[in-house]
Structure 1
Amino acid sequence: MLVSYNWLQDFLDLDVDPKDLAEKITRTGVEIASVDHPQEGLKKLVVGHVLDCDGVEGTHLHLTHVDVGEDEPLQIVCGAPNVAAGEDVIVALHGARIAGNEKIKKGKIRGMESYGMICGLQEIGFADSVVPEKYADGIFVFPEDADVKPGDDVYHALGMDDYILDFDITPNRADTLSMEGSAYEVGAIVDQKPKIEDVVLKEDGPDWTSELNAEVDEKLAPKYYLRKVSGVKISESPLWMQRRLWNAGIRPINNVVDVTNYVMLLTGQPMHAYDARTFKDGKLVVRKAEKGEKLTLLNDKEVELDPNDIIITDGKEPVMMAGVMGGKNSEVEDDTTDVILESAVFDGTLVRKAALRHANRTEASSRFEKGINWDNTQKALDMAALLLRNDANGTINEGEIKATDAQRKPAVVKTTISYINKVLGTELSNDEMVKIFDRLNFETEVDGDDLTVTVPNRRWDIAIPADLVEEVGRIYGYDNLKSTQPLVAETHGGYSEAETKMRRLKKIVEGQGMMEAISYSLTSPEKAVRYTMDPKATVQVQMPLNSSRSTMRENLMTGLVDAASYNMARKQNQLAFFEQGRVYDHDGGTFNEHEHLATLYAGNTFEDNWQHQTQKIDFYFVKGQLEDLFEAVGIDESKIEYKAAEIDGMHPTRTAAIYLDKEYIGMIGMIAHAVTMADKALRGSELYGYELDLDKLDAHIQKGMTAKPAPKFPAIERDLSILVNKDDSNRDVENVIRANAGKYLVNLKVIDVYAGSHIEPGKKSLAYNLTFLNEKDTLTDEVVNKAMDKVMAALKDDLNAKIR
């Protein structure tokens, strides 16, 4: 909101420098983005009266003589198409400075002496967007009502001697989107009561209310008032009104449209003026649009209306998009004589969505979406009618139509003096507290420590005690609040135990050569449950940006696959990613969060190098990486079990579920071909990875690794080759060996696997290396042989294995 300092002085007796005032306002919570003085940098700009004007043959130029209050008129050559004798214009004298710090000098144009320049508004610093259309391509001509004479400085007449304060408000302070609201705010800061005048209206025309039947849905427009002004004469607005409009960033149009904009700036109540001929059938309906309906707006933009748009119709056709912009078919034109004024309160949410939907945000829609003062609906209507009588020779017809008239009661907020003092850290007395609310023009009642504040409708942002605390704090002055140390328990720095474990896991994975990725927590419903063994009910976002960001993820793998696609599309095929983060579900009627760790590999185990021969990453390489991780955090390998599993998004025969003490903790495997083939960037690639549930893994992670001396006594190794059924898993065999090898077995590993024509059908050959060690004494062959005999006997009995 651009607020005029000179206009503020209509409400307050301000004797403070505008820039100092801006600083005070900013310190109370409403930021002033800038303070502009339009006159700054300009000089020697005066009013001139064009005495004569002759066209220069063969050119677009005019030779004029202009009275600028000096002894002799000045000869000025002007190329503007609208220059004419008898006009009062802006003249830049010899030595003047205009916009852009450009200096004007006398000189010759086509051999003719020119002793100055007749200016348009843009040339002295006005933005194109506020220059009246009539003068957009030429010079500015002062209207007949302008109190100017040759030789006067132009700054006051054009409002350029003003200071413009840019109120950069937050949405909750939309009460300052009007001059009256700004006056209340500034008045509270400088401790003055603003002079807000009521409108005294005399109706001097016949009753018109029977001419129009208004049907309004109260849910769409809880307040909807209409008034008729007849016999208006369309022309330019008086200069005082034009300068207030353009200083607020609004282009003057004509004396009817300008009145509605002026009243909106004054009261904060958006208004609209219809040509009364629009409702020649005597009907006005406020409703939602029907699918397929179209409307051409005042800016010549044709829109196809949405069923959620609020529209005003003449009973048949739409004539306005309510709260946003009027239609061309109801526009006030040069031959308009009768005007119907509308002052209403529309549903702010629907107005905001309509303005966004049609990319047509306006000053009116901005106010409706943030909220307006319900108490000003009547005042705005009467003020507009009064101005049309004064400035457009209109006759105010008797009566008004109130199609809907819902009332909003002022908010009553109860709190205590001690509560406000406690929160602010102040020691304000009851009288001091009441004085602050009196400066804000809030009614207060004090009963001991109890405080009851009645908040007027113009401050709809205040509803709870915390709001009152804020008001007291900012008016009292944030700089006046004492700085105190908070009284809290002493805390020590450092990470929690859970955070320490997660950082340790990440450090180990990074040490394996992995690069950390951070992906979106939001994904599509399909990807949210992909790569998940047992999907739970998903967490849906109420207002998603798009369908691919509508659901909270239940796994991290989907984000890593997306990252792989992004990288491979850019020819980065050697990938090793990991992510540690949270996944989400809605299980058991509650929203849950779980910490996960996931990795993804693609390419070769090593980058190509002449020193060694590399190999492609496969399931066993990734499993080896995972086993190294388990070993590094102290998880007993014998408690880990891998079982073949079918998981959506994973390869059906190269995927395993991971169990720790028979509890599912994650999965490992290859991304399914169906996933990689569906993505052009991933086609032909093999992606492997694993994902772990850290919440389930947490209790099994050891605090750290303990170093111990190398053993003093030698170990003994034995190799064992057996023939077992093809369906027997390595886990089954290892469980039998560990259960019978005794306490001195310290390491067991597979050294060979064979299944082929040289052995019986349905069988496979497995070879193991067993390492025995007694850390306290020399281990003898006799002890090891007994252990091996027991192992072989158990393999024969439990698995029907043959020893080879």
Structure 2
Amino acid sequence: MLVSYNWLQDFLDLNEDPKDLAEKITRTGVEIASVDHPQEGLKKLVVGHILECEAVEGTHLHKCMVDVGEEEPIQIVCGAPNVAAGEDVIVALHGARIAGNEKIKRGKIRGIKSNGMICGLQEIGFADKLVPAKYADGIWVFPKDSDVKPGDDVYEALGMDDYILDFDITPNRADTLSMEGAAYEVGAIIDQKPKIEEVTLKDDGADWTSDLETVVDDNLAPKFYLRKISNVQIGESPMWMQRRLWNAGIRPINNVVDVTNYVMLLTGQPMHAYDAKAFANGKLEVRKANSGEKLTLLNGKEVDLDTNDIIISDGQKPVMMAGVMGGLNSEVTADTTDVILESAIFNGTLVRKAALRHANRTEASSRYEKGINWDNTEKALNLAALLLRDNASANIEAGIIKATDQQRKPAVIKTTISYINKVLGTDLSKDEMVKIFDRLNFDVVVDGDDLTVTVPNRRWDISIPADLVEEVGRIYGYDNLESTQPLLDETHGGYSKQETAMRRIKSIVQGQGLMEAISYSLTSPEKAIRYTKNPKEVVEVAMPLNSSRSTMRENLLTGLVDAASYNMARKQKELALFEQGRVYDREGGSFNEHEHLAALYSGHTFANNWQHETQKIDFFFVKGQLTNLFNSLGIKDNDVEYKAEVVEGMHPTRTAAIYINNQYVGLIGMIAHNITVQDKALRGSEIYVYELDLDTIISMLTKGMKAKTAPKFPAIERDLSVLVNSDITNAQIINQIKQSGGKYLVKVQVIDVYAGAQIEKGKKSLAYSLTFLNEKDTLTDEVVTKAMDQIEADLKEKLKIKIR
């Protein structure tokens, strides 16, 4: 909303710099985007009276003698088509500055001396859209009733001495989309009561209300008023009205259309004027458009009406798109004699959608979509009628047709002084708070600490106590609010034990060379339970975006496999990824969240290099990584057990469940071929993974890994080769060796595995390296030999193993 400072002075006594006032308004809640002074940068522009105008033969030029208030008239050459003797025009004298900082000098045009320039409005800074059509291609000519004299500066006559404040409002402050609304707002800020005049109107003609049948759907137009004005003389609006219109960004058209725009700017109530001949059949209807109906708007654009568009019709054909723009078939033209004025409240949602649908947003639709003051509907209608009588020599027919007349009661809000003070952090007294509401022109009743505030309809944005808090705060002044620390329970920084443990685990995994990935928590129902040993009831989303994001994950491997597919599709085959995050399930009627860690490996253990042999990542490499992780957390190898398992999505013979102290904590293995073969990017790749339940593992951690000094005494190593049945696992053999090896056995490691033609079917050969160490004394061969004998004896007896 462009607000004229000069017009604002009709309502308030303003005596401060417009830019300072703009700063105050901005600090109080309504931003002033800019303050423009149209006169700025211009000089030596005066009123000139053309005494003589002679056409220059063979050209479009005219040689004019112009009275500019000096002792002698000056000669100016002008090429405008509408220049003529007897006109009062804008003259840029020698040395003048016009728009674009262009300087005007004396010179010759076609050999004819010219001492200045006769200007059009565009040449002194007016936007093309504001220039009346009559003068769009020529010079500006002052109306005959203009109070101007040759030699006067043109700035005041054209309204260029004004300051234009651009109220950049938010949608909730649409009450300032009128001069009266702006006056109330500024008045509250500077503590003045705005002078808002009521309209007193006397009818001239006979009652006309029975001449027009109206049918209005009150869901489309809860308030719909009409007045008839007769014997209208169409012409230009007076200069004072034109000045106010173009300073508000609206182009003057004629005295009827300009009145409706002027009233809209003044009161905020959009209006429309119809040529009464449009309703010659005596009927007016407000309804939704029918399928297939068309309407040519005032701007010449033909639109195919939608069945949700509100239209005004003559009972048969549309004559206006309600709240947006009138139709060309009901336009007020130079031949119009009788006018029907409309002032109404339309359904703002339907108006907004219609304006958007037809790409035809107007000043009227902008106001309807944000809200209208219901109290100004009749006032606007009467004011427009009064202005037409004064400026178009019209007669006002008696009576108003009120086709619909719903009323809106002012909002009554109850709150307390203590509540407002508590929210704002202030200590305002009762009198101070009442004064603020008085500045806002809100009626208030005080009963002890209780406040009952009646909010007028012009402030439809206020409906709850919190809105009153905002009003008090901004009028009191945000700068006056003290800065205080919030009163909250004291909290201490740092991480919980669980967070510390998770960060420790992530740090170890990152140190192993894995890169962290973050994947979606939502997946498909099938993927949600894939790679899960004991799937539980899934958690489904109430309104999923699509079927692939409808279920909360029960594992992290799904996301990592998707990440692997994405990378491999881009030729990135060497992968080492991990993710730490939450998984979700439902059990026993409750929703549960669990912290998990998962890792994915594919490719080779090292990048190709001449210094070492390249090896593919396999189950045992990943198991070694996992063993290092457990050791770093202080989990002993003896406490960890791997058992073969069949899990959906995992390879049937290369998958194991992980148990710590006989409690299931996760799984390790290879992604099944039937999964990788379905994805073109994964096809042919071997992908190894593991996933751990951190909630379970962290609860087991009592101490971390501790470093100790290197032993002073040497260790003794012995080799052991055995022949066993294929169904006996390496874990069984190692556990038995550790049980039988005595207290000096510190390490058991597999050094060879063989199964083939050289040994009998159903058997396998395993070779182990056993390390013995006494940290306090030198270990003798006798002690080690005794331990080895015991180990061999127990293996033969308990596992039926043959020692080789």
Q: TM-score range by the shorter chain?
A: 0.7 to 0.9
List aligned pairs for 1:188-227, cutoff 5 A: 188-205=188-205, 206-209=207-210, 211-218=212-219, 220-227=220-227
Summarize the Cα distance change of 1:299–1:173 in structure 2 as closer, same or farther, 3 Å threshold: same
Contact 2:643–2:656 (Cα < 8 Å) also in 1: no
Distance in 2 separating the partners of 1:589 and 1:254: 73
Contact 2:5–2:164 (Cα < 8 Å) also in 1: yes
> Shift of residue 803 of structure 1?
8.8
> Shift of residue 490 of structure 1?
3.9
Matching of residue 472 in structure 1 with residue 469 in structure 2: no
> Shift of residue 434 of structure 1?
0.9
Matching of residue 91 in structure 1 with residue 95 in structure 2: no
List aligned pairs for 1:484-523, cutoff 5 A: 484-514=484-514
> Shift of residue 266 of structure 1?
2.0
List aligned pairs for 1:131-146, cutoff 5 A: 131-146=131-146
Summarize the Cα distance change of 1:376–1:612 in structure 2 as closer, same or farther, 3 Å threshold: farther
Which of 731, 734, 754 is matched with 1:734 structurally? Answer: 731
Q: Match of 1:780, SS?
A: helix
Q: Match of 2:255, SS?
A: coil
Alpha-carbon deviations, 1:354-384, whole Å to 9, x = none? 4445544443333333333222233233333
Distance in 2 separating the partners of 1:278 and 1:658: 87
Contact 2:665–2:697 (Cα < 8 Å) also in 1: no
Q: Match of 2:421, SS?
A: helix
List aligned pairs for 1:321-400, cutoff 5 A: 321-328=321-328, 330-400=330-400
Distance in 2 separating the partners of 1:627 and 1:290: 76
> Shift of residue 277 of structure 1?
4.7
Contact 2:736–2:794 (Cα < 8 Å) also in 1: no
Contact 1:212–1:279 (Cα < 8 Å) also in 2: no
> Shift of residue 43 of structure 1?
0.9
Summarize the Cα distance change of 1:246–1:716 in structure 2 as closer, same or farther, 3 Å threshold: farther
List aligned pairs for 1:10-409, cutoff 5 A: 10-205=10-205, 206-209=207-210, 211-218=212-219, 220-279=220-279, 284-288=284-288, 297-301=297-301, 309-315=309-315, 319-328=319-328, 330-409=330-409
Q: Flag the structure with larger Rg.
A: 2
> Shift of residue 187 of structure 1?
0.6
Summarize the Cα distance change of 1:302–1:449 in structure 2 as closer, same or farther, 3 Å threshold: same
Contact 1:389–1:395 (Cα < 8 Å) also in 2: yes
Summarize the Cα distance change of 1:786–1:687 in structure 2 as closer, same or farther, 3 Å threshold: closer
Contact 1:595–1:693 (Cα < 8 Å) also in 2: yes
> Shift of residue 44 of structure 1?
0.9
Q: Match of 2:240, SS?
A: helix
Contact 1:35–1:166 (Cα < 8 Å) also in 2: yes
Summarize the Cα distance change of 1:62–1:455 in structure 2 as closer, same or farther, 3 Å threshold: same
Distance in 1 separating the partners of 2:133 and 2:765: 93
> Shift of residue 407 of structure 1?
2.7
Q: Match of 1:224, SS?
A: strand
> Shift of residue 188 of structure 1?
0.9
Contact 1:50–1:65 (Cα < 8 Å) also in 2: yes
2:784 maps to a residue whose letter is: T
Summarize the Cα distance change of 1:559–1:303 in structure 2 as closer, same or farther, 3 Å threshold: farther
Distance in 2 separating the partners of 1:467 and 1:25: 18
1:253 maps to a residue whose letter is: I
Distance in 1 separating the partners of 2:269 and 2:793: 97
TM-score (ref. length: structure 2): 0.81
> Shift of residue 458 of structure 1?
1.9
Summarize the Cα distance change of 1:479–1:51 in structure 2 as closer, same or farther, 3 Å threshold: same
Q: Match of 1:479, SS?
A: helix
Summarize the Cα distance change of 1:252–1:573 in structure 2 as closer, same or farther, 3 Å threshold: farther
> Shift of residue 81 of structure 1?
3.8
Summarize the Cα distance change of 1:506–1:262 in structure 2 as closer, same or farther, 3 Å threshold: farther
Q: Match of 1:70, SS?
A: coil
Contact 1:750–1:766 (Cα < 8 Å) also in 2: no
Distance in 2 separating the partners of 1:724 and 1:276: 108
> Shift of residue 138 of structure 1?
3.3
Q: Match of 1:399, SS?
A: coil
Map of 1:780 onto structure 2: 784
Alpha-carbon deviations, 1:560-607, whole Å to 9, x = none? 788778878888776666666677899999998776666677776555
Summarize the Cα distance change of 1:100–1:437 in structure 2 as closer, same or farther, 3 Å threshold: same
Distance in 2 separating the partners of 1:81 and 1:548: 70
2:212 maps to a residue whose letter is: E
Distance in 1 separating the partners of 2:787 and 2:236: 114
List aligned pairs for 1:389-788, cutoff 5 A: 389-514=389-514, 536-539=538-541, 554=553, 611=611, 614=614, 629=629, 632-633=632-633, 638=640, 643-646=645-648, 699=699, 705-710=705-710, 714=715, 734=731, 738=735, 741-742=738-739, 767=766, 780-783=784-787, 786-787=790-791
1:142 maps to a residue whose letter is: F
Q: Match of 1:6, SS?
A: helix
Distance in 1 separating the partners of 2:231 and 2:676: 73
> Shift of residue 130 of structure 1?
3.0
> Shift of residue 93 of structure 1?
1.2
Summarize the Cα distance change of 1:785–1:43 in structure 2 as closer, same or farther, 3 Å threshold: farther
Distance in 2 separating the partners of 1:406 and 1:301: 33
Summarize the Cα distance change of 1:676–1:372 in structure 2 as closer, same or farther, 3 Å threshold: farther
Contact 1:740–1:794 (Cα < 8 Å) also in 2: no
2:125 maps to a residue whose letter is: G
Map of 2:8 onto structure 1: 8
Distance in 1 separating the partners of 2:332 and 2:529: 60
Tell me whether 105-114 or 377-386 shows the greater mean CA deviation.
377-386
Summarize the Cα distance change of 1:404–1:112 in structure 2 as closer, same or farther, 3 Å threshold: same
Distance in 1 separating the partners of 2:333 and 2:724: 100
2:246 maps to a residue whose letter is: W
Distance in 1 separating the partners of 2:51 and 2:684: 86
Distance in 2 separating the partners of 1:688 and 1:133: 78
Q: Match of 2:142, SS?
A: coil
Q: Match of 1:246, SS?
A: helix
Contact 1:665–1:697 (Cα < 8 Å) also in 2: no
Q: Match of 1:402, SS?
A: strand
TM-score (ref. length: structure 1): 0.81
Q: Match of 2:377, SS?
A: helix
Summarize the Cα distance change of 1:398–1:558 in structure 2 as closer, same or farther, 3 Å threshold: farther
> Shift of residue 516 of structure 1?
5.2
Q: Match of 1:446, SS?
A: strand
Tell me whether 186-195 or 130-139 shows the greater mean CA deviation.
130-139
Q: Match of 1:457, SS?
A: coil
Distance in 1 separating the partners of 2:597 and 2:410: 54
Summarize the Cα distance change of 1:12–1:292 in structure 2 as closer, same or farther, 3 Å threshold: same
Distance in 2 separating the partners of 1:657 and 1:340: 86
Q: Match of 1:407, SS?
A: coil
Contact 1:539–1:586 (Cα < 8 Å) also in 2: no
Q: Match of 1:185, SS?
A: helix
Summarize the Cα distance change of 1:341–1:426 in structure 2 as closer, same or farther, 3 Å threshold: same
Q: CA RMSD in A?
A: 4.7
1:780 maps to a residue whose letter is: V
Distance in 1 separating the partners of 2:784 and 2:406: 100
> Shift of residue 486 of structure 1?
4.1
Identity of aligned residues (%): 69
Stretches of structure 2 lacking an aligned partner (at least 5 in a row) = none
Stretches of structure 1 lacking an aligned partner (at least 5 in a row) = none
> Shift of residue 471 of structure 1?
1.9
Q: Match of 2:237, SS?
A: coil
